[in-house]
Amino acid sequence: MSFVQTYGPWALVTGASSGLGACYARALAARGLNLIVTARREERLRTLAEELRAEHQILVDPVAVDLLRPAAVRSLEQAIEDRRLGLIVCNAGFGASGRFHELDARRQTEMVRLNCEAPVRLLQALSPALIREGRGGVIMIASTASFQCTPWMAVYGASKAFDLALGEALTVELGKHGIDVLTVCPGHTATEFHQVAGVERAAVGGPPADPMEVVEGSLRRLGKQMTWVHGARNRWMVRANRFLPRSIMAWAAGRVLAKRLQDDDAS
Ligand SMILES: NC(=O)c1ccc[n+]([C@@H]2O[C@H](COP(=O)([O-])OP(=O)(O)OC[C@H]3O[C@@H](n4cnc5c(N)ncnc54)[C@H](OP(=O)(O)O)[C@@H]3O)[C@@H](O)[C@H]2O)c1
């Protein structure tokens, strides 16, 4: 079966106004899927929709919603209506860096709600339609931060550990209904993430990954594996997690992130 037959005719991409989400929208449009693209910044969604309609002759519905609002999932369900949804990309998310006790408490809670609660609510509402079809896919965006704690980005790392555990569990559960669930773990990637998170420099050295490379790599692996970590260096780090005590990984992650915090303080 072709990609459209397996994961079409419609896909939903959250966090599509920038970064990885916009790249997922472009990559899925190029494969011929119709799209519902969502985020808060409506103008960006409209521009993206126009671009993709013109380039790929597909249908694109931009739906501006704040996923932190209780009514957001209902709005997306209404936007989907009786369209046959075949793929859900749970991508919207953000991070924040700094000392745990000094970071804005409300923002930290919102991070947990967007990174953890929103995919739960979205997938509970929308996966029954995929189950009825007996096919389709879910892409869950976790992170390399999912595999060890991240001091000075403590809540972010914890939220991404949740995404990894949720995605992997659903690979098994939804897999029984013919649905492919892939959990994607990008490392440092060139998006607006670091600007939003207040991280001006990469925590781990090396240039950031191209977001389209992450997206294309993940789409090639959908239906073939449960979890995919982007980049050989990141995969090596994740493997080290299995052999080294968690205390050492916590210390190492803390050293890197603390250094960055000091650098930022000094600048
Ligand atoms: N970039 C990296 O290095 C990296 C590494 C590992 C994992 N990730 C993960 O990748 C995912 C995508 O992030 P990105 O790197 O592409 O960053 P990004 O460019 O900042 O994109 C984040 C997206 O989430 C949306 N969003 C934020 N708050 C929202 C809300 N309340 N309601 C609805 N949408 C909201 C943003 O749109 P609006 O502002 O328009 O709402 C934006 O489209 C995140 O889950 C992130 O944790 C990123």
Neighbours of 226 (CB within 10 A): 15
Cα gap 121→74, rounded to integer Å = 10
Tell me the pLDDT band of 198, cut-offs 50, 70 and 90. Answer: confident
Alpha-carbon radius of gyration of the chain: 18
Residue 256: the pLDDT is 82
3-state secondary structure 26-54: HHHHHCCCEEEEEECCHHHHHHHHHHHHH
Mean pLDDT for the chain overall: 94
Neighbours of 205 (CB within 10 A): 9
pLDDT at residue 26 above 70? yes
56: Cβ contacts below 8 Å, ≥ 6 apart: 29, 30, 32
Mean pLDDT, range 173-190, rounded to an integer: 98
Cα gap 201→114, rounded to integer Å = 24
CATH number, domain of 258, equals: 3.40.50.720
65: Cβ contacts below 8 Å, ≥ 6 apart: 38, 39, 40, 72, 75, 76
**One-letter amino acid for residue 265 of the chain:** D
Cα gap 107→156, rounded to integer Å = 11
Mean pLDDT, range 240-248, rounded to an integer: 92
% of the chain residues with pLDDT over 70: 95
pLDDT at residue 204 above 70? no
Q: Report CA(243)–ligand 1 centroid distance (Å).
A: 31
Mean pLDDT, range 177-187, rounded to an integer: 98
Task: Indicate the top mutation candidate among 113, 183, 188, 193 to test ligand 1's pocket, ranked by most ligand atoms within 8 A of CB.
Answer: 193
pLDDT at residue 150 above 90? yes
Tell me the pLDDT band of 182, cut-offs 50, 70 and 90. Answer: very high
Residue 205: the pLDDT is 63
Is the Cα torsion angle 117, 145, 199, 12 positive or negative in sign? negative
Mean pLDDT, range 199-213, rounded to an integer: 78
Residue 46: the pLDDT is 98
Mean pLDDT, range 34-52, rounded to an integer: 98
Summarised one tens digit per residue, pLDDT across range 55-84 is 999 999 999 999 999 999 999 999 999 899
- The backbone torsions φ and ψ at residue 164, rounded to the nearest 5 degrees and listed phi first, read -65, -45
Cβ–ligand 1 distance for 112 under 6 Å, the answer no
Residue 203: the pLDDT is 52
Atom number of ligand 1 nearest to Cα 67: 32
Cβ–ligand 1 distance for 127 under 6 Å, the answer no
Cα gap 148→145, rounded to integer Å = 6
Summarised one tens digit per residue, pLDDT across range 86-124 is 999 999 999 999 999 999 999 999 999 999 999 999 999
pTM of structure: 0.97
Give how far Cα 72 sits from Cα of 40, 147, 201, Å: 11, 29, 33
Residue 266: the pLDDT is 42
Residue 162: the pLDDT is 99
Residue-range definition of the domain harbouring residue 25: 3-266
Atom number of ligand 1 nearest to Cα 160: 47
The closest alpha carbon to 216, from 253, 249, 189, belongs to 189
pLDDT at residue 263 above 90? no
DSSP 140: E
Residue 267: the pLDDT is 40
Q: Report CA(92)–ligand 1 centroid distance (Å).
A: 4
How many domains is the chain built from?
1
